[in-house]
């Protein structure tokens, strides 16, 4: 089934159907990773330091592998929302990719806490596309939202969109022309 893209006020929502079991999801992610060669850096490609936050060890490791194949550096892996906030503030990654449903503190609360302290490109990922999660992401002005399983190409787009939108949001206003 083809992925559907839906743009919504600086939010990118990528929707794909989640399979019925985690084995199938892992198989789909492995197929997506194996289907692309290691990316060669082009003039317009920028590599980022990425913090991964996901309580599912298999998904976190697959995501880390996928990020490396796309040419990014994995700054660390957090297993819950509280740990994600602490690691993000300490490591200052270029991007945070965070699962919504995690123990201790969910991804929406962790993203809210991070964004209160400093602007940061955050990509939320989840196995669900329920209205509560979608609305929570929109309310936070989170730039990118991925529904698992997602392809390396979708991940690449989500990262670069999040960084560009975050940069645009924190850029100083242009100076008025001199009279």
Is 50 within the bounds of a domain?
A: yes
Is 69 within the bounds of a domain?
A: yes
Is 28 within the bounds of a domain?
A: no
Q: How many domains does the chain have?
A: 1
Instruction: Please give the order of strands across the beta sheet that includes 144-147.
Output: 4-8, 11-15, 144-147, 122-126, 95-99, 49-53, 73-78
**In this predicted model, what pLDDT tens digit does every residue of 152-167 receive, in sequence order?**
888 998 898 888 888 8
Is 3 within the bounds of a domain?
A: no
**In this predicted model, what pLDDT tens digit does every residue of 33-87 receive, in sequence order?**
444 444 444 335 688 999 999 999 999 999 999 999 999 999 999 999 999 999 9
Is 92 within the bounds of a domain?
A: yes
Domain containing residue 148: CATH number: 3.40.50.2300
**Boundaries of domain holding 84:** 46-154
Is 36 within the bounds of a domain?
A: no
Tokens linked to 153 = 């190409």
Instruction: Please state, for a pLDDT cut of 90, what percent of the chain lies above it.
Output: 36
Q: Which of 13-27, 34-48, 120-134, 162-176 has the lowest mean pLDDT?
A: 13-27
- Secondary structure letter of residue 43 according to DSSP: T
Is 65 within the bounds of a domain?
A: yes
């Amino acid at each position: 089934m083809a992925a559907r893209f839906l743009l919504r006020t600086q939010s990118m929502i990528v929707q794909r159907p989640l399979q019925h079991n985690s084995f199938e999801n892992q198989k789909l992610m492995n197929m997506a990773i194996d289907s692309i060669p290691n990316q060669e850096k082009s003039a317009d490609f920028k590599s980022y330091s990425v913090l991964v936050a996901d309580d599912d060890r298999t998904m976190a490791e697959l995501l880390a592998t996928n990020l490396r194949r796309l040419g990014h550096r994995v700054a660390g892996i957090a297993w819950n929302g509280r740990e994600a906030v602490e690691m993000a503030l300490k490591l200052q990654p270029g991007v945070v990719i965070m699962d919504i449903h995690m123990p201790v503190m969910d991804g929406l609360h962790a993203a809210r806490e991070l964004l209160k302290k400093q602007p940061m490109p955050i990509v939320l990922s989840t196995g669900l596309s329920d209205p509560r999660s979608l609305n929570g992401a929109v309310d936070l002005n989170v730039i990118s939202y991925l529904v698992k399983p997602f392809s390396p190409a979708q991940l690449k787009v989500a990262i670069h969109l999040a960084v560009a939108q975050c940069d645009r949001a924190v850029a100083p206003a242009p100076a008025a022309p001199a009279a």
